Structures are given as structure tokens and as C-alpha cells.
């Protein structure tokens, strides 16, 4: 997508170097970080210079390609093996990380010469990144049909291109609608406690020139009742086999409010987010995150540095669930790269038959 | 209520001086500000060292008493008249301000000697403060019956004693329940954008030793669905004749989520908050406040000062409605100092017959 009028992906490979948007600096500074070798790329994943399922997967793939490129002919396999180990240990719950590592390994395994292994590792890593971007773009083309001209869209958290290689999921139909000439307006939930809406989604929309306003999460219901929102599109962290959706805390509230006010509520996600082995939403564990996300607020201080302020008294307890589960009954449909399905077992199963 | 184990009111008069809790310093510092004369007291209202309907009213009453005390015998009436003018201009939409000024004026008018006027002005101001505290205490006694032992209460924003002279409205039943030996737990919505929940309500509960946790507003629905909340009590800024309630932004969302999850939703307010001339909630204008409340977050910086951080990019628009309207159908009941009524025209009217 566009940044300062130029097209960027979140992560890409160039002459053996992995380049990526330095995400912790956003939205206050836009810089490209450059990782010379797989060790630096591994560190970038670990320190979350890159974040988001699709973007992490692509970065891991490129990191693997770097390992193959830099491995000495003498001790080649050992070097790669060690690289795999450190790369795997960066974000132990990121499924796309393991998927990308294994795919590059499997592709290289088919070749016998070091030269051929290097070549295929690079091309396979590139393919992983391209596939992510292509699938997200498809979600945009498919989801765009749901957006009428002059419609007002509500979104929660950041399921934009920064979390993937390009396009994103929930924001992809918005980018597609803009390109097809539709007039649209986006209400961006700031998404406390980490404010990914105010930080990431607002920045993405600003760069793409899409009219939007950031609102406190508390104001979403008010605008729904006032008839100001026509459709809600959010992303998903995990979709159960029955259509229940785990996503950023506050998604459930948005879904209930949408239903109460007769507003369509869509989830946009790659089919890889669907976990058929997970029967229903109540089987999805909800991560409880650190207290500091609630007790403090992070941002740019008055002297232009990254800093924080404490917003509540010392001594008060904090609960900080990172996700909630939206039962399938509140969901109008799930937009995937293979089409839009209802949030039920049968239609979800059909996505995997072909 | 208690602060560091000692009982305080938000504002009181002592030897001609008006003393008040310096509220902008909370929750990070507890200090008593002292206003030597009505000019200083007027300034304190203007700069919001004191805020909240009941507390502003009481402070204005005490300020009037100071004006009477300090007015020179020569030019007495002019001095008082000028004091009234400056006091009235501080917070032009605060109904309790005008009510208190007029009451002290009317009481003094009945006396003819300067000495008697001074005496009655002080006693009338004291009566206004005492009545506010007494009415709030009654809300506590009445509302406390709704709270079962071991119950979990959700509240939004701050309708505690800091906004009144003592006890508060939504928090008063909680303080009463604590004193009657019930075990209770309070979920405090942080209440973006101004975070009155995280700042004020958490501080009040901490001082009173009431177990509580602050949560992001986004987490309220999640805990309701999980069966963790038994009852919601919130305050009100204005109640229409049909029972619709205007209150801090996010109240409507909480009410819809409560109904969806079968949780009782109560509004606690003094009968003076009911505006019989306002037919229904859609007649209540919604104030749009400054963008900085959303673009920035205010609190204690790392070096212990009061500061702010910017949490979103420059250039993104912000909408910041201060209040929303909760339709009467979502409200289980309204707790007033005269008893609990259903949120409908008939029962509300009955409050004013007697």
C-alpha cells in the first residue's frame, strides 16, 4: 500500500538483505529497517520490528533464505539447522512462522547442490510473501462488493496491511473500494489498551488518503445508534469450526451493538486463520496480558520521544484480556480469499473442499 | 468518604476559608486547596480544581458566603452583586451553580442587618452542602439493597463522591454495602477519553478499601458474557421525562451489553438531575469536545510530572462526543434519594408528587 505516495510492502528482500517497515516507530516516524543476515532478521522478529501473522511468516521465510545464502559450503547443513532453531524460538505461538520455515526447508531439500538450494530458498521465500499479498488482495476484491458508494464503515484494531505483507484483511475491501472510485468513510476504534486502531489503522488510512475519524471505543455504540455506521469489518486471530471468532478485545461489544442496531457485521480473514480442530469459541484460551498496557499509555512525549504516562493510581488492580470471542450468531459473514461464507460449520467446511 | 483513613468531604468551609480537594492532582497526589475569599473560590471553580454538579453547587454556595463575610459595610450590596456576577460566569452550564447562588441570595435577603445577612449566608451555604451529602447518602441506603453479598458490580466513569459533596450517586450504594459488611467487587471501566474511571473511581475505591479492578472499556462486554458481572450502576448527567438517560459516552454500549447478557442496569441520580421539561433523550444535545482528549493521553510522566503523550498520527480526524443517550428500555431502574423507580414517565412523575 501507499506511504508518502509510494507503494511499499511491510517486508521484502533486496540483494540478500531483508528490508522492513520499522513498526514500533509508527505512526510518528516512517523508517525502513535493513537486516543484513538471518541473525539480524531473527532479532527483528523477536523485538517486534515486524508484527502480524502474515508479515511474520514472510519475514521468517526471507530469514531462511538469508541463512541459505550465507551458509558456508563447509558446514552448510549445520549452519542452516542452527538458523532454523533460533528463528523458531522468536515467537513460539506464531503459526505462520513455522509454516514459512518449513516451506523453505522443504523446497531446498529437493535440490542437491548448494547453489540450487540457495536459489530455491530465495524463490520459495518470495513466493510465500507473494501468496500472502495475493490472498489479502483477493479478500479486498471479494469484500469490496459489500461496500456501497458513500457508505460508512466501522473497524476495530488493526487488520490492515501492516499485519500482513500487503493489503491486509479487514482493511483490504476498503482499499479496493477506494481504488474502484467509491466514496467511503471509516470510523476507527482507537482500540484500547494498545490503541492499534489509533496508531496503525489511522496511519494506514491517512497514507492511502481514505477519509476517516478515530473515536474512543466508547463512542462506537453511540454512532451505530445514530445511524452513522452502515457496516462493520474486523479481522480475526482465530476462527473456530462453528464460526465463533476470537479477535482483539472489544470485538464482541462491537458485534452486539451492531446486531442491536441492525448493522451488518463482517469478519475478514485468510482461510489459514480458521482452525477446524477448534470446535467452538469457548475452547479458545484468552491471553491475559501485562497490567502496564492499562495502567499506562504509550506515545510520543512533548519533547518528541517515545514515552508513557501513568493514568491511574498505584495500588489498583487491573484485568487485561487481550482477546474476546464473538459467537457466530452475531456475525453476518466471513470474508475469505476463497469467498464469503456464513459463520456456520457447513459453510466453513465447504471452504476446504475443492 | 475516606482518604488515607480519615473522613473528608470534597469541599467545606472553615473560619471563612473554603477548603477543597485539589482534584486535578488526583490520583497521583492528594492535597487540600484553600481559598481565602470568594475571588479565589470563583477561580477554583473556573479552573476546575473542583468539578461535578453537587460539588460545584456547594462550592458556589460557600463562595457566596465568603462574599457576604468580606463585603464592606460601606458598599455592601455592590460588593455582593459583583461577586454574584463573576461567580455566575465560571461554568455557565452548571445548573447547581445558579441554584446555590440564588438560594444564598434569597436567604440573605430576608435579613436586614449586615451581621444577620452574613450569618444566614454562611448557614444557608452549609445547608446546601449538607443536603447534597444527605441526599447522596440516601441513594446509598436505598441502592444498597440491590447489592447481594459477594456480588460483582460494573460502573462507568465517575459518579462518586468527588463529583458531589460526599457519597456520590452510582458509588454510594457500593460504599453503603461495604459498611453493611457485604463482600463486593467492582469492575471499573477506565472510561476513555478522559479516563475518569481509571483516575477518579479507582482512587475513591482504593481509599475506601473496596476490592476492584480497572479494565479497558473494551473488556466490559467480555466480562458480562463470561458471567462475571451481576449488576451495572452508573450515574447520569440528565434524565429526560420519559426515562432516557444522558451520561458519559460509553454508557449506552454498557446498557446494550447488559441487556444482551441479562444483567440488571441501574442509573443512580439525584432527582434534581431529572429534567421534566425534556420530553425524551433525542432532545438532549450531545456536546462534542476537543480533539486533544482523543489524540493524547494525560497522566503522570516518568519523571513524576503531569504530562501527555500523543497516541495517533498527525492529520487523522477525531470525533469526540462527550455523552450518549441510553434509551429507557435498557434501564432496569433509577435509584434516587426518594426511592427506586422504573425508567418511565409515570413512575418518574410520581417522584415529584408529595
Q: What is the pLDDT of residues B167-215, one digit of tens each?
A: 999 999 999 999 999 999 999 999 999 999 999 999 999 999 999 999 9
- Do residues B24 and B55 both lie within one domain? yes
The reported pLDDT for the residue numbered B92 is 78
Q: How confident is the model at residue B339 (pLDDT cuts 50, 70, 90)?
A: very high
Active site residue B217: no
Rounded-to-integer distance, Cα B295 and Cα A216, Å: 10
- Do residues B33 and B66 both lie within one domain? yes
The reported pLDDT for the residue numbered B93 is 75
Min Cα–Cα distance to chain A from B182, Å? 20
Contact B235, B269 (CB under 8 A): yes
- Do residues B22 and B122 both lie within one domain? yes
CATH code where residue A115 lies: 1.20.120.420
Single pTM value for the model: 0.95
- Is beta strand B238-240 parallel, antiparallel or unpaired with respect to B274-275? parallel
- Do residues A34 and A169 both lie within one domain? no
- Do residues B177 and B118 both lie within one domain? no
Rounded-to-integer distance, Cα B219 and Cα A249, Å: 6
Per-residue burial over B47-79, b = 16 or more CB atoms within 10 Å of its CB, e = otherwise: eebbbbbbbbbbbbbbbbbbbbbbbeeeeeeeb
Min Cα–Cα distance to chain B from A305, Å? 9
Rounded-to-integer distance, Cα B345 and Cα B77, Å: 44
* Residue range A20-48: mean pLDDT, rounded: 96
CATH code where residue B274 lies: 3.40.50.10470
The reported pLDDT for the residue numbered B94 is 77
- Do residues B61 and B182 both lie within one domain? no
Rounded-to-integer distance, Cα B331 and Cα B343, Å: 6
Task: Determine the structural domain holding residue A62 and report its residue range.
Answer: 2-137
Q: How confident is the model at residue A67 (pLDDT cuts 50, 70, 90)?
A: very high
Q: Is the pLDDT of residue A284 over 80?
A: yes
Q: Is the pLDDT of residue B31 over 90?
A: yes
- Where is the domain boundary, B137, B158, B178? B137
Q: Is the pLDDT of residue A55 over 90?
A: yes
The reported pLDDT for the residue numbered A91 is 86
- Is beta strand A333-336 parallel, antiparallel or unpaired with respect to A264-268? parallel
Secondary structure of chain A: what % helix, strand, coil (to 5)? 40, 20, 35
In percent, the amount of chain B with pLDDT more than 90 equals: 95
Q: How confident is the model at residue A92 (pLDDT cuts 50, 70, 90)?
A: confident
- Do residues A152 and A130 both lie within one domain? no
Q: Best mutation site among B312, B314, B327 for testing chain A: the one with the most A CBs within 10 Å?
A: B312
- Where is the domain boundary, B115, B137, B159? B137
User: What are the tens digits of pLDDT across the range B139-179?
Assistant: 999 999 999 999 999 999 999 999 999 999 999 999 999 99
In percent, the amount of chain A with pLDDT more than 70 equals: 100
Q: How confident is the model at residue B319 (pLDDT cuts 50, 70, 90)?
A: very high
- Where is the domain boundary, B137, B157, B192? B137
Which among B213, B159, B164 is positioned nearest to B184, based on CA atoms?
B213
Q: How confident is the model at residue B77 (pLDDT cuts 50, 70, 90)?
A: very high
The reported pLDDT for the residue numbered A118 is 97
- Do residues A129 and A160 both lie within one domain? no
Q: Is the pLDDT of residue B354 over 80?
A: no
Question: Which residue in A212, A315, A317 is closest to B316 by CB distance?
Answer: A212
In percent, the amount of chain A with pLDDT more than 90 equals: 95
Question: Crossing angle for the helix pair A76-88 and A38-46, nearest 10 degrees?
Answer: 10
Q: Best mutation site among B211, B222, B300 for testing chain A: the one with the most A CBs within 10 Å?
A: B222
Q: How confident is the model at residue A66 (pLDDT cuts 50, 70, 90)?
A: very high
Q: Does B30 touch chain A (CB under 8 A)?
A: no
Which among B221, B245, B229, B220 is positioned nearest to B342, based on CA atoms?
B245
Query: Which chain A positions have a beta carbon within 8 Å of B221's beta carbon?
Result: 250, 252-253, 256, 324
* Residue range A67-90: mean pLDDT, rounded: 96
- Do residues A188 and A240 both lie within one domain? yes
- Do residues A8 and A128 both lie within one domain? yes
Per DSSP, the three-state class of A289 is coil
Q: How confident is the model at residue A93 (pLDDT cuts 50, 70, 90)?
A: confident
The reported pLDDT for the residue numbered B100 is 96
- Do residues A69 and A186 both lie within one domain? no
Question: Which residue in B191, B219, B302 is closest to A319 by CB distance?
Answer: B219
Q: How confident is the model at residue A95 (pLDDT cuts 50, 70, 90)?
A: confident
- Do residues B159 and B108 both lie within one domain? no
Min Cα–Cα distance to chain A from B338, Å? 30
Q: Structural domain tally of chain A?
A: 2
Q: B301–A311: do the CB atoms touch at under 8 Å?
A: no
Greatest Cα pair distance in chain A: 69
The reported pLDDT for the residue numbered A94 is 77
Rounded-to-integer distance, Cα B18 and Cα B14, Å: 6
Amino acid at each position: 500500500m501507499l506511504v508518502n505516495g509510494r507503494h511499499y510492502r511491510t517486508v521484502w528482500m533486496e540483494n540478500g538483505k531483508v528490508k522492513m517497515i520499522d513498526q514500533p516507530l509508527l505512526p510518528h516516524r516512517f523508517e525502513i529497517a535493513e537486516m543484513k543476515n538471518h541473525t539480524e532478521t531473527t532479532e527483528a522478529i523477536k523485538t517486534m520490528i515486524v508484527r502480524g501473522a502474515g508479515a511474520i511468516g514472510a519475514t521468517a521465510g526471507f530469514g531462511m533464505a538469508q541463512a541459505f545464502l550465507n551458509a558456508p559450503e563447509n558446514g552448510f547443513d549445520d549452519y542452516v539447522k542452527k538458523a532454523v532453531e533460533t528463528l523458531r524460538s522468536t515467537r513460539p505461538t506464531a503459526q505462520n512462522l513455522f509454516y514459512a520455515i518449513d516451506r523453505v526447508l522443504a523446497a531446498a531439500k529437493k535440490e542437491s547442490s548448494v547453489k540450487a538450494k540457495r536459489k530455491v530458498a530465495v524463490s520459495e521465500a518470495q513466493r510465500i510473501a507473494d501468496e500472502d499479498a495475493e490472498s489479502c488482495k483477493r479478500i479486498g476484491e471479494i469484500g469490496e462488493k459489500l461496500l456501497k458508494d458513500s457508505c460508512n464503515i466501522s473497524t476495530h484494531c488493526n487488520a490492515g496491511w501492516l499485519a500482513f505483507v500487503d493489503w491486509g484483511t479487514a482493511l483490504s475491501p476498503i482499499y479496493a473500494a477506494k481504488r474502484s472510485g467509491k466514496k467511503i468513510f471509516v470510523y476507527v476504534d482507537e482500540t484500547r489498551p494498545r490503541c492499534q486502531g489509533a496508531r496503525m489503522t489511522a496511519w494506514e488510512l491517512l497514507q492511502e488518503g481514505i477519509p476517516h475519524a478515530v473515536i474512543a471505543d466508547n463512542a462506537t455504540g453511540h454512532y451505530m445508534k445514530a445511524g452513522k455506521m452502515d457496516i462493520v469489518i474486523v479481522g480475526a486471530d482465530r476462527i473456530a469450526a462453528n464460526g465463533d471468532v476470537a479477535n482483539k478485545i472489544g470485538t464482541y461489544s462491537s458485534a452486539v451493538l451492531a446486531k442491536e442496531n441492525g448493522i451488518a457485521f463482517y469478519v475478514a480473514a485468510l482461510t489459514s486463520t480458521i482452525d477446524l480442530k477448534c470446535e467452538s469459541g469457548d475452547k479458545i484460551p484468552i491471553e491475559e496480558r501485562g497490567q502496564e498496557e492499562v495502567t499506562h499509555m504509550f506515545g510520543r512525549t512533548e519533547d518528541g520521544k517515545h514515552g508513557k504516562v501513568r493514568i491511574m493510581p498505584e495500588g489498583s488492580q487491573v484485568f487485561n484480556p487481550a482477546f474476546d470471542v464473538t459467537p457466530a450468531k452475531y456475525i453476518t459473514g466471513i470474508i475469505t480469499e476463497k469467498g464469503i461464507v456464513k459463520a456456520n460449520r457447513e459453510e466453513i467446511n465447504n471452504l476446504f473442499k475443492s
